[in-house]
Structure 1
């Protein structure tokens, strides 16, 4: 017992304890060369029920890791630790490499590089003592407003699958188990944890759009574990959904690793265990004593428990962890120079040049450059809001500093408008009276009443004062201002959770919902000298508390300095961003905080304006016709400065391609109706069915702002000489690609399949791609292979994939809307 307590204590202090060779005498499966299944069965036979139960749920005390399963020394089962990714070692542990966000990795369209990305994460997770890396996320980007789009790859299941396979192979090559997430149909943050986040989706849509990338992770990459998601799928919680966890995962894909619940995602004992869940995280609320009782009552069989435990033990044996458990120190440095080089390479290849009118990019040495926007220096965006962020290493070079070092000429920096409005003077303003209430609905007698000169706070604990709870409170502030000028006054509130603003009883801002920090702006016509009543309402549901109120009077310009700098420069570079967060969905896809107005003002002053976007998915661009160049940088990680300078000055030619479609407006997106996103009446309707991403725009005849697969270069390419092999799958497609420009660069050759109309498929679907690097004037013949799945659809009557006979069109090009080469293949019955 003392040894067990010691092991647990050491594990809780973040060191995984190895099983000593002496234990092998009592544990013949340690060091054995017998088949894995034989060893698994031997351990199961030796274990008590209590020991088996200890393997299927986490325990308290895992910090700083996400989760922990303690060792069972009597049967030599090692302890193991689970920890967050997906763009490196999460949880803000020190001494790690901050890789670009996964959406950027997908934008490289470079599977070899993404494997290196996984190798970096695997090596650093191992150095930190981690057994299971909670990565990658391979959920489809269904809507650009989804809060975790930056954390996954693409709107296309084939591209997502290729990226996920490469990443998993990289992680697991370092001896760390990869946990692919989140199974399944997890495409929004709204109402998560709740049955109202219930994806109502057809079997065919699931199998063709939302599951293929998981299948590739299991069948091809041999992912060791799977994380089930928070949502409900067709009325059943994903972590007890037998269709997903048993019929599809175990029977259809033959998965034999373990399924872990997302943290807090387990909602039952009997239904979850019998439905296919193997491990509850982070504790044992349902799979501890409650599961023991269910076993005793016969509600869960001992055979099912044995399977659950066997599913956990199997990958431990395969990775040799009984003999060589992973050891490490969460505080020890894990980053290496070669890891930083991969981070920089991914940042370079992830950037997508969307527009470059007049070849304003690359910049030239000696130009006078105006750098505008806080994202260039003051508020550098590296990861974009990961729920368990990878720490930004000290000494990161900002884009501004890197541009200054590279430019060789005059560089002027203007931060641009602040995140929210300042509070301008009024003729009379004596502050506001704040009243704080228990609960989130401003009800009951106030717990606290006080005078506040401003409403401007950021309380990490969430607690504003003694006597007010740290979570689950609300407040209102009331007072009077007397404006100095007549005309439109602009008010702004930045808040997390819910906020509202009333001026003389008129609701000017309504942001009354759970959310990440968001800025909302409203305008009211006021008269000089005439007092108006102001009321601000706020509720805080959990976590920290943040709120800021400001207003501007008519005639105030937030852009004068930026406009002046742009006029005086040869070229203006504006950094703009839209940050998203785990746990929250966006309310729109417009750039926040007046950034669209800023870009328009700068472009009017200097048409040689370059916009650098740092976003997790698509945004609208009302100014796109006025600027010369647009570079989508995503969230580039620790190499943000070096990469931006390298790309802007042409040391590197952009080669990224969009992994998601950029629409002209939110009205164009597939899930534009409330019933589809974020849902209504307790359902999220997936009735766009197969019309996801570019499939939707093609099917509906909608012109996107920038299509899926689009991306320019500082050189040019030509495609010719398409050949398509005859006969049955696999089909071989070749084309010659030539660098027709004056500098080296990379192009991505993309092949799309159009099915016979009787199949009922979208007009075109990506089925193969290859990235090729070429010197000026160089040509290469690219060879792509289309397997039988490329010509198959899901047959719901047979619950199986069915090859579609007939004439299929093969279109080859450099985006979903730029496909100059056409060929055909007839698939026999």
Structure 2
């Protein structure tokens, strides 16, 4: 009895000690040396992450649990996407979240601007992508962040998607292997990776509805089979192979249900795949209903607690959300933090730190080199020989300071330095080569503001345009104000007292000062339209981030006024009013200088780019502005013209057969110039391969336009026929097939062998460098299923990148298991392997099969 009393007294003393002891370390700090482990049993060695989470959860109050499942307001100057404060009493570190698909975002400086993710995928090298993940994780940690909002895993359903640069590919297998490599790399630095956006965020149009007004987002109507075979695998691999600690759910609806409130998709993620981490909402507009989101499986609302703050607490107290569900939310967050090392390896960096390093910049260069794709090389135009070359013309605004190295939106990264293509080429060419530069165009960005002196309003005294303002988002109702605006260049509502939701139409005439081709640009966030001389030059119903429309030139006659109309509403914008109307008058001398430079040089390299990113989709695949015409003219002046594309996705190439060479360099990051110079001069042999099919026309492919925003429905009628699957099934011939890429050497495939039986087989093939230069080949394995499976003609199931010296050969092996042969049976609601004969195809692209065989599966 006395022993029992003694134990009770001891327990009481320990309780009082816990209540009166000095404050525990601040969030983000390790436990103090010598602190009693009994106070924090979750910090004891030997416990699993789940056990540690359970012990900590048992000590938490209701309010402390609620605080873990939502973010808080961060200062406008904070270089982070969001923050979840830790718990000083319990020693729980802050969660500090930052954007990061292409490097540390949110306006941080002193970081490395890496190439965009499609360049990573184009390298077809998981080892390289893993190295990128480790570098990204290190820079995030160095800035004091322990949650990276990356990578983006949404399938490139169409090259029109504005967010294509930060995604990987159209293929689910390549997506999964690349994703798993990056996720594991990030988390090696004790930073939680957050694959996004789960699931089917395959377009920007309508993804948030109309943020200011609310209303439904786009509804993606997708079959269960397409979800399982096309849109899920990247996320599944990031969980199973990469060990992802978090997953971000998307804005859009899926078959009528919001992604962050969808029990079917979130149930697949958690129950189906055994995901033990937490599901985080996309920012601000992704959560619509507290109870629906919580009970469906969303665990944390970002960036604020609009739905998972007091509203969730009330729902828990009322029983609408079970306490067990709240406990599950917190347990998942804590489990991920313990498993990835957020507790045991707290970040010590800060926002002022310089985290970009020579090693990281070298890695950025290497990704740009390995991810660039040689599309055309006629008559050995490349590589350039600095020893024999005497003069080189570098042409294009994108070659200079206006070079496009990254995307817009949350994927934007501020470079710690920049090597432009012009600087890189000039340095590499050396003193023996005369390098001349002529931009030839003002490029794809916003043009100088259209001056009032050229404008006459439709009514009232000028100069300028007549603005008619409405208190609605769609120019409906009675006008609330009219006035003449001299220019359209503003980041604030032009008229004082306008409501949050407003729209305006500006009308008048534009008088050209000279006869010739005029360029106009409209840079805006929201809904906008531009018409000149009765021609609609730009029409974007939805741009939640700033976007620039840079349409093709319009030929106008000097002194002949033409009507001009601009419609605008910021209701769709998440950054408020952004509007800039720009122009470029005829500039024949600008282009002529480029043509003259090309004509007077041994070779010409033309750089052309676009500017796409989060918030808006493209309406066509053409290069913006006058880029195509510039390439035509330069190619006519110099037969040894090479085009380098800095684009976020495929573009049309009407000049392809007029040029000697073409390279797709994507958005290549801050080491752009060094990387492209190394490729042009042959210091690096191109080895990138296309991670998406390149259409030959705007009408090719399964999706050539999006449904109208006002319908807010996007049917995925193509089912599983996405990308090259569609081209194969419909016998369409693309401009360049999936997996395509040239080299400065050649490769031969021989001696295909298939060993093993059925669902456990090994395929091997000998690959030989049959050319005269060292180089790397990406051997790709495709399977063709028997008719009973009702699959596309071929699907990627394996790949390997091998580097070989001239004459060297190696045997490349691929392991095939049951998953390689399985397809999703909608009737049985499970994956099934259909018995039959499968065709095994190995080669250099989806349309370049070099060796084939057959494999019987029972």
SS at match of 2:247: strand
Q: What are the superposed Cα offsets for residues 251-307 of structure 1, whole Å, 9 maximum, x if unpaired? A: 210111111011121111000000000111111110110011111211110111111
Deviates more, 1:723-732 or 1:157-166: 723-732
Deviates more, 1:726-735 or 1:708-717: 726-735
CA distance in 1 between counterparts of 2:308 and 2:138 reads 31
Q: Relative to structure 1, is the Cα distance of residues 324 and 608 closer, same or farther in structure 2, using a 3 angstrom cutoff?
A: closer
Q: What are the superposed Cα offsets for residues 416-460 of structure 1, whole Å, 9 maximum, x if unpaired? A: 1224777799999773244363544456556573452xx363x4x
1:39 corresponds in structure 2 to 52
Q: Relative to structure 1, is the Cα distance of residues 579 and 3 closer, same or farther in structure 2, using a 3 angstrom cutoff?
A: farther
Q: Is the CA contact (8 Å cut-off) linking 1:427 and 1:529 kept in structure 2?
A: no
SS at match of 2:802: strand
CA distance in 1 between counterparts of 2:20 and 2:411 reads 33
CA distance in 2 between counterparts of 1:809 and 1:129 reads 51
SS at match of 2:41: coil
CA distance in 1 between counterparts of 2:419 and 2:252 reads 39
Q: Relative to structure 1, is the Cα distance of residues 565 and 451 closer, same or farther in structure 2, using a 3 angstrom cutoff?
A: same
SS at match of 2:101: coil
2:69 to 52, 56, 65: 56
Q: Is the CA contact (8 Å cut-off) linking 1:670 and 1:696 kept in structure 2?
A: yes
The 5 A counterparts of 1:299-698 are: 299-365=320-386, 366-394=389-417, 396-408=418-430, 409-419=433-443, 431-435=463-467, 437=469, 439=471, 440-441=473-474, 444-445=478-479, 447=481, 449-450=483-484, 452=486, 455=487, 457=489, 459=490, 462-463=491-492, 467=496, 472-480=501-509, 490=518, 492-496=520-524, 497-501=526-530, 506-515=534-543, 516-521=547-552, 523=554, 531-541=561-571, 542=573, 543=575, 544-550=577-583, 552=585, 559-672=591-704, 674-675=706-707, 681-698=711-728
Gaps of 5+ in 1: none
The 5 A counterparts of 1:205-244 are: 205-244=226-265
Q: CA deviation at 1:104?
A: 0.2
1:79 maps onto 2:94 in alignment: yes
Q: Is the CA contact (8 Å cut-off) linking 2:548 and 2:611 kept in structure 1?
A: no
SS at match of 2:135: helix
CA distance in 1 between counterparts of 2:626 and 2:22 reads 57
1:27 to 40, 62, 71: 40
The 5 A counterparts of 1:9-158 are: 16-21=28-33, 22=35, 24-61=37-74, 63-158=78-173
Q: What are the superposed Cα offsets for residues 32-74 of structure 1, whole Å, 9 maximum, x if unpaired? A: 4233333322222221111111111111126322121212222
TM-score of the superposition, structure 2-length normalised?
0.89
SS at match of 1:781: strand
SS at match of 2:405: coil
SS at match of 1:814: strand
Q: CA deviation at 1:672?
A: 2.3
Q: What are the superposed Cα offsets for residues 682-721 of structure 1, whole Å, 9 maximum, x if unpaired? A: 3211110111000000000000000000011111111111
1:256 maps onto 2:276 in alignment: yes
Deviates more, 1:428-437 or 1:264-273: 428-437
1:762 to 792, 799, 803: 792
Q: CA deviation at 1:673?
A: 5.3
Q: CA deviation at 1:127?
A: 1.4
2:13 corresponds in structure 1 to none
Q: CA deviation at 1:489?
A: 6.1
Q: Is the CA contact (8 Å cut-off) linking 2:179 and 2:238 kept in structure 1?
A: yes
Q: Is the CA contact (8 Å cut-off) linking 1:97 and 1:340 kept in structure 2?
A: yes
Q: What are the superposed Cα offsets for residues 176-199 of structure 1, whole Å, 9 maximum, x if unpaired? A: 111111111110111012334111
CA distance in 1 between counterparts of 2:106 and 2:182 reads 20
Deviates more, 1:18-27 or 1:583-592: 18-27
1:198 maps onto 2:219 in alignment: yes
2:180 corresponds in structure 1 to 165
SS at match of 2:656: coil
Q: Relative to structure 1, is the Cα distance of residues 413 and 23 closer, same or farther in structure 2, using a 3 angstrom cutoff?
A: farther
Q: Relative to structure 1, is the Cα distance of residues 782 and 309 closer, same or farther in structure 2, using a 3 angstrom cutoff?
A: same
SS at match of 2:671: helix
CA distance in 2 between counterparts of 1:45 and 1:343 reads 45
Q: Relative to structure 1, is the Cα distance of residues 166 and 551 closer, same or farther in structure 2, using a 3 angstrom cutoff?
A: closer
Residues paired across the two proteins, number: 810
Q: Is the CA contact (8 Å cut-off) linking 1:117 and 1:170 kept in structure 2?
A: yes
CA distance in 1 between counterparts of 2:712 and 2:505 reads 31
Q: Relative to structure 1, is the Cα distance of residues 282 and 3 closer, same or farther in structure 2, using a 3 angstrom cutoff?
A: farther
2:12 corresponds in structure 1 to none
CA distance in 1 between counterparts of 2:406 and 2:343 reads 35
Gaps of 5+ in 2: 1-17, 210-215, 457-461
CA distance in 2 between counterparts of 1:263 and 1:166 reads 25
Q: CA deviation at 1:349?
A: 0.3
Q: Is the CA contact (8 Å cut-off) linking 2:530 and 2:537 kept in structure 1?
A: yes
Q: CA deviation at 1:481?
A: 5.1
Cα RMSD of the aligned pairs, angstroms, is: 2.8
Q: Relative to structure 1, is the Cα distance of residues 602 and 287 closer, same or farther in structure 2, using a 3 angstrom cutoff?
A: same
Q: What are the superposed Cα offsets for residues 473-493 of structure 1, whole Å, 9 maximum, x if unpaired? A: 5444444555577x7764623
CA distance in 2 between counterparts of 1:377 and 1:295 reads 58
Q: Is the CA contact (8 Å cut-off) linking 2:692 and 2:723 kept in structure 1?
A: yes
SS at match of 1:274: helix
Q: What are the superposed Cα offsets for residues 730-753 of structure 1, whole Å, 9 maximum, x if unpaired? A: 211111111111111100000000
Q: CA deviation at 1:413?
A: 0.7
SS at match of 2:54: helix
Q: Is the CA contact (8 Å cut-off) linking 1:218 and 1:255 kept in structure 2?
A: yes
Q: What are the superposed Cα offsets for residues 105-132 of structure 1, whole Å, 9 maximum, x if unpaired? A: 0000011111000010111111112111
CA distance in 2 between counterparts of 1:540 and 1:641 reads 37
Deviates more, 1:539-548 or 1:806-815: 539-548
2:772 corresponds in structure 1 to 742
Q: Relative to structure 1, is the Cα distance of residues 591 and 507 closer, same or farther in structure 2, using a 3 angstrom cutoff?
A: closer
1:780 corresponds in structure 2 to 810
Q: What are the superposed Cα offsets for residues 473-529 of structure 1, whole Å, 9 maximum, x if unpaired? A: 5444444555577x776462323244444567x354352523311123464665x66
CA distance in 2 between counterparts of 1:4 and 1:125 reads 34
1:753 corresponds in structure 2 to 783
TM-score of the superposition, structure 1-length normalised?
0.92
Q: Relative to structure 1, is the Cα distance of residues 48 and 652 closer, same or farther in structure 2, using a 3 angstrom cutoff?
A: same
CA distance in 2 between counterparts of 1:451 and 1:684 reads 38
Q: CA deviation at 1:645?
A: 0.7
1:708 maps onto 2:738 in alignment: yes
